[in-house]
Structure 1
Amino acid sequence: MSQPTTVGIVDDHALFREGLREILEACDGLKVVGEAGDSGEALALVERERPDVLMLDVEIPGDDVLDTVGRVRVISPATKIIVLSMYDGPQLLRRLLSSGIRGYLLKSVHREEVISAIRSVVSDPERLVLAVSRDSLAQVHAPTPNTLTDKERQVLEFAAQALSNQQIATRLGLTEATVKRHLRNVFVKLGAVSRIDAVNRAIAASLISVPRDSGSMPKGFG
């Protein structure tokens, strides 16, 4: 008789952990070997049990989820990590996928989807299971913006403060034509169609900081 798939549950809400445990233990071939409520307990659980699968809440207390994922993979490389979240955000999802998780499920999924995800990542070493919105998935697979040069970043940060091309040129000691060239390069790298679009894309990708004056709006490119 084959050994059951062992599962660890990490979530800071005891009621959620209990509910998930009941769901999993009602299935043949699945065995919950431990629970944890924060990142420290999660690492101790992985060290102790080396579960086949770790169901990891994205917002547990303690270390950042990316740090926790990295440490789990060091402690127990064979453990498949499935992240559970209320948040359907492409930026975080992209970073988590890069860190080596095997699944990302919204907490709104049905029990059958959770069970199927666990069995899938265990049975197929290449399988990646995602239960997110179509829009989020599309953004995850979109090309990552190219890195901006220091000068392009400076120009865009001033554009985010609603400065005109001439004002930006004066601040940076450039000609207005050079400022326009930098902005065109930014548009191409970010796939943007306007100043506002470029600023929003750069902020989302953490390429520039959010303007202090949130009430100012960039002027049109010209």
Structure 2
Amino acid sequence: MAVRVAVVDGHTLTRYGLAGLIAQHEDLAIVAETGSMAEAVRMVETALPDVVTVDVALPDGDGLGLARELRDRFPELGIVVLTSRGEDDLLFRALETGVSAFVPKTAPAEEVLAAIRHAAVAASSFTATGLAPALARRRDGSRVALSPREHEVLQLLAEGMSVPGIARTMYLCPSTAKTYVARLYEKLAVSNRAQALMAGLREGLLDRPAGASA
């Protein structure tokens, strides 16, 4: 029987393209698709796929948060995370979330298909092409490494901007801005703005001294 695949991706063309790619292979079958995090859990409950592909950046939320919810609800479900951002922290978050595979959207089509097939037979076994180099970089790195987006969030916090203000400035939805702030706090091992700014200065991550209060 063909592997039943569902696709969650907020970009219509990407979603249709992935669905079209999967449909070309007799051992795979598209059973559902959505561009919304809000609809994804219900879609999985209804369509009962063997594997679901999830984009990291969804219009209404964090794809890795969705992946964690799906893993908690459906332990046997294969989950393939797709991303247009090849950052190490995303890869490690995906690993910690318990997904089956982590694949850049720039990867060859065969790599995406291989990840789907892997997820169908080994849902709890993680695979990612760049895992070994990322582990080596984590071992060798002694300082906090922020993604460009996280660095921008830190700088905006230093300028005294609120989370809604950060969302507007970075053209993000408020929930995504909150996710970036929470991830930044986690990386810096802090719990509020003042601590984050102190840590940012200590690590040399701020472009200029912060003048904002907590």
**TM-score of Structure 1 vs Structure 2, range by shorter chain:** 0.5 to 0.7
How far is the alpha carbon of 1:138 from its aligned partner?
Answer: 2.8
Aligned partners of 1:55 and 1:12: how far apart in 2?
Answer: 12
Name the residue aligned to 1:62: 60
Using the size of structure 2 for normalisation, the TM-score is 0.64
Name the residue aligned to 1:77: 75
Corresponding residue to 1:19 among 17, 20, 24: 17
Relative to structure 1, the CA distance from residue 66 to residue 23 in structure 2 (aligned partners, 3 Å threshold; closer, same or farther) is closer
Relative to structure 1, the CA distance from residue 30 to residue 67 in structure 2 (aligned partners, 3 Å threshold; closer, same or farther) is same
Name the residue aligned to 2:188: 206
How far is the alpha carbon of 1:71 from its aligned partner?
Answer: 1.7
C-alpha contact (below 8 Å) 1:104/1:132 kept by paired residues: no
Aligned partners of 2:7 and 2:123: how far apart in 1?
Answer: 21
- 3-state SS of 2:86 partner: coil
Structure showing greater radius of gyration is: 1
Gaps of 5+ in 2: 143-183, 191-195, 210-214
Identity %: 27
- 3-state SS of 2:57 partner: coil
Gaps of 5+ in 1: 146-201, 217-222
Using the size of structure 1 for normalisation, the TM-score is 0.62
How far is the alpha carbon of 1:203 from its aligned partner?
Answer: 7.6
Relative to structure 1, the CA distance from residue 98 to residue 45 in structure 2 (aligned partners, 3 Å threshold; closer, same or farther) is same
Tell me the matched-pair count.
159
Residues 110-160 of structure 1 deviation map (CA, whole Å, 9 limit, x = unaligned): 1111111111222345542213386434345x3999xxxxxxxxxxxxxxx
C-alpha contact (below 8 Å) 1:39/1:62 kept by paired residues: yes
Q: Which moved more, 1:129-138 or 1:117-126?
A: 129-138
How far is the alpha carbon of 1:50 from its aligned partner?
Answer: 2.1
Corresponding residue to 1:92 among 90, 95, 102: 90
Does residue 106 in structure 1 map to residue 88 in structure 2? no
How far is the alpha carbon of 1:37 from its aligned partner?
Answer: 0.4
How far is the alpha carbon of 1:204 from its aligned partner?
Answer: 8.2
How far is the alpha carbon of 1:61 from its aligned partner?
Answer: 1.9
